[in-house]
Homo-oligomer: A and B are copies of this chain.
Amino acid sequence: MEVNSVLETVFKLIEEKKYALVREELLEYNEADIAEIIEEVNDTLGPEKSVILFRMLPKDISAMVFSYVSSDCQIDIVSGITVRELQNIMEEMSFDDMIDAMEELPANVVDRVLNRTDKETRKLINQFLNYPESSAGSLMTIDYIGLKKEMRVREALQYIKIHGMDRETVYTCYVMDSERHLQGIISLKTLVVSEGYEVIGELMHEDFISVNVMDDQEEVAQTFKKYDFLALPVVDKENRLVGIITFDDIMDVIEEEVTEDIERMAGVLDGSDKEYLDISVMSHVKNRMPWLCLLTLSLMITGGIISHFEDLMSQVISLVAYMPLLMGTGGNTGTQACTLIIRGMSVGEIELKDAIKVMWKELRVSFCVGLVLSMVNMVKIMVIDQEPFLIALTVSIAVLIVVMFAKMLGGLLPMLAKRLRIDPALMATPMISSITDMVSVIIYFLLATAILGL
């Protein structure tokens, strides 16, 4: 959908207060699109307008739209509607989307909604709100189809016909005993292609894969990627089914995890899921300062090392001009290696047991890369800069050593971090280039002292 052209129309109609026409326009679109439009209205024209639009939507659509808009926009909408309206929306929403919304809403609003729900549901909601933020429990929904082993296909299809409409997925059904122990799974596909008299217990898969309610969401995402499932059952310690996770929630998890990885690799520590433009200036500063301070400290140490060699530099001032080359080359080559390893580990291509293989590969790659770069520099320094051979030799040898060191370090550090249960993404560019900076000036000046005989 081309949202921008629709937005123009909608803005114009709102300005002219032709709300009935806006409603008609909105209802032409998919709920995800309506959510996008309402968010834009909220950001541009303010919550008064977006709440008006939201309240005009039919109940079932407004619940879907509510689950699609950002949490900031949810809060804006909630402050403009009555508790009764909010409760109606919550009842229409799928269970996991409702829990997600409740986690973001102000506590007093959540309390008021909870007060109006029956005791049983309230207990359940509270239980779900208590699962750790990135656990399987926090992702799951209770809107699944549960069947019994003894049922016939005909009965199962009849059961789905009655209960299916308000379940998040009916495509995988879960077979349990009377204590809710998960015994098997059966797909709607199997049910539909089987004969009515066949018995569920004989058709179901018993070698299903399940996750534990406390498993980390990253593990759950890996399982989804490996097996291509539509949904995964979530069980507790006693193997009782407590919920299911559907693939659409996992797509969001994968995106979140990747974003977190990429940001950490750049030295940004952002704990929230907020969008860049929604994060305040001060939060941006707070997300970026910790690493910058650490990096500044390391750069100060590098500076200290350099000032140790001031005598050397005063004698051969042209050495200074090649310092950034060495530090930069170390950073760039190290970045390549560590990025490949970090990504390889996070998609499961590289494991800790591959450490030797990785080192052996990086050793050979870095030797080739280092040799080429060092020759290029040798020629350039002698021919273009017209510096003496010994200076060119110093720089070239230093380049080779620095490249090899940087690539080995780039390969090793993320694996070491993983071994120590630190996020490997923290060992990326900023960290690697800080270390190679220090090491490369030391190597460079020691080499210079030796080769130039100073």
A interface residues (Cβ-Cβ under 8 A, vs B)? 1, 28-30, 32, 157, 160-161, 164-165, 170-171, 188-189, 192-193, 207, 209, 224-228, 230, 247-248, 251-252, 254-255, 258-259, 262-263, 265-268, 275-277, 281-282, 284-285, 288-289, 291-293, 295-296, 299-300, 302-304, 306-307, 310, 313-314, 317-318, 320-325, 327-329, 331-333, 335-336, 338-341, 343-344, 347, 349-350, 354, 357-358, 361, 364-365, 368-369, 372-373, 376-377, 380, 385, 429-430, 433-434, 437, 441
Contact = CB atoms under 8 A, between A and B. Distances in A.
A437 B328 CA distance: 9
Q: How many copies does the complex hold?
A: 2
A373 to B, nearest CB: 6
Given A328-B295, A336-B268, A276 B349 contact: yes
A317 B314 contact: yes
Contact of A228 (B209, B251, B441): B251
A192 B187 CA distance: 13
A325 to B, nearest CB: 4
A227 to B, nearest CB: 5
10 contacts: A32-B226, A171-B189, A188-B189, A247-B251, A267-B336, A276-B361, A289-B372, A293-B376, A324-B327, A335-B430
Given A281-B368, A306-B321, A320-B310, A192 B429 contact: no
A339 B277 contact: no
Contacts of A344: 275-277
B193 A160 contact: yes
Contact of A299 (B276, B306, B328): B328
A182 B437 CA distance: 60
A383 to B, nearest CB: 12
Nearest to A252: B225
Given A266-B429, A376-B296, A306 B320 contact: yes
A408 to B, nearest CB: 14
A386 B192 CA distance: 82
B160 A192 contact: yes
A201 B339 CA distance: 52
B332 A267 contact: yes
Contacts of A368: 281-282, 285
Contact of A324 (B192, B339, B437): B437
A336 B288 contact: yes
A317 B311 CA distance: 9
A296 B310 CA distance: 25
Contact of A295 (B247, B332, B339, B357): B332
A361 B193 contact: no
Nearest to A193: B164
A289 B164 CA distance: 57
Given A32-B227, A262-B265, A324-B437, 12 more contacts: A28-B207, A32-B228, A157-B192, A161-B192, A247-B251, A254-B255, A262-B339, A266-B336, A275-B350, A295-B329, A323-B324, A324-B327
Contacts of A373: 292, 296
Contacts of A248: 228
Contacts of A258: 258
A365 B284 contact: yes
A417 to B, nearest CB: 17
A357 B324 contact: no
